[in-house]
Amino acid sequence: MDPRVPADERILQAALARIAVDGLGAPLRTVAQDAGVSAGLIIHHFGSREKLLDACDQRVLEVTQQQKHSALTGGGGAMLAQLAAAEEYAPVVGYVLRRLQAGGPLAQRLIEDFVAGAADYIEEGVRAGVISPSRDPEARVRVLVHMALGSLVLQLPGQHSPLDLADLPRWMREYTDSLVAPLLELYTTPLLTDSSLLETYLATQPEPAAGPGGSAPSTDRSTP
């Protein structure tokens, strides 16, 4: 790692990459070796292991927010696939996958941040006319993100198995390519041939919240 890079940045980059490879249990001494610093310097800059993980989370969210506008329909999974297309982002993607795999409150917080970010760019797509309005936009975004991230986690090696960062861009590209056609079909040609199941279900539920323009989106498939 370039010694001209400030020590705290080297530590952060090393932590992202090492956790992506070995999981959240990666020893701080190994992170320190990767960064070319002492383990004590990690504590000096970040205070604790938990605060180092917080800094990693923040970096991941900053990077993914920068990419959100070009990933309109795929939720967090499409965003990660986009990032993984460039080798320089492989540690960020690997870190997120490890975070999700480990579960717990921190993973849930990261998922909520993905949902919040996805809500913004899905709404941009609605305003641009490329995405249909929803009677419950928040619930739709949450389902899309959960499906995308959950599908990625199912493809991962075991929680305690190493992840090959050098191979991650190729793996993500193959994984994404395998999903494009079926997802586009599902999004553009609805799975169900009529809306009777939806209408039957909604008839038992409270009135939906008003959609854009002050009225709930119609479930009538004949309505533009």
Contact 139, 118 (CB under 8 A): no
The neighbour count for residue 146, using CB atoms within 10 Å, is: 16
The whole-number pLDDT of residue 82 equals 61
Domain around 123: 50-190
Residue in 86, 59, 58, 54 with CA at minimum distance from that of residue 70? 86
How many independent structural domains does the chain possess? 1
The whole-number pLDDT of residue 75 equals 52
- pLDDT tens track for 147-169: 888 887 887 666 667 778 778 77
Please report, for the domain that includes residue 142, its CATH number: 1.10.357.10
DSSP-derived secondary structure for 70-81: G--SSHHHHHHH
- pLDDT tens track for 121-143: 788 889 988 889 999 999 999 99
Quote the CA–CA distance of 176 and 127 in Å, as a whole number: 26
Average pLDDT, whole number, for the chain? 80
Task: Please give the distance of CA 26 from its chain centroid, rounded to a whole number.
Answer: 22
The pTM score is 0.65
Query: Is the pLDDT score of 210 beyond 50?
Result: yes
Query: Is the pLDDT score of 212 beyond 60?
Result: no
Query: Is the pLDDT score of 213 beyond 60?
Result: no
- 45 inside domain: no
Higher pLDDT, 72 or 82: 82
- HSE at residue 147, side-chain half, CA atoms within 13 A, is 12
**Residue 133 backbone dihedrals phi, psi, to 5 degrees:** -65, 160
- 54 inside domain: yes
- 9 inside domain: no
The whole-number pLDDT of residue 69 equals 54
The whole-number pLDDT of residue 187 equals 85
- pLDDT tens track for 14-45: 999 999 888 888 999 999 999 999 999 999 99
- 2 inside domain: no
The whole-number pLDDT of residue 138 equals 93
The whole-number pLDDT of residue 136 equals 92
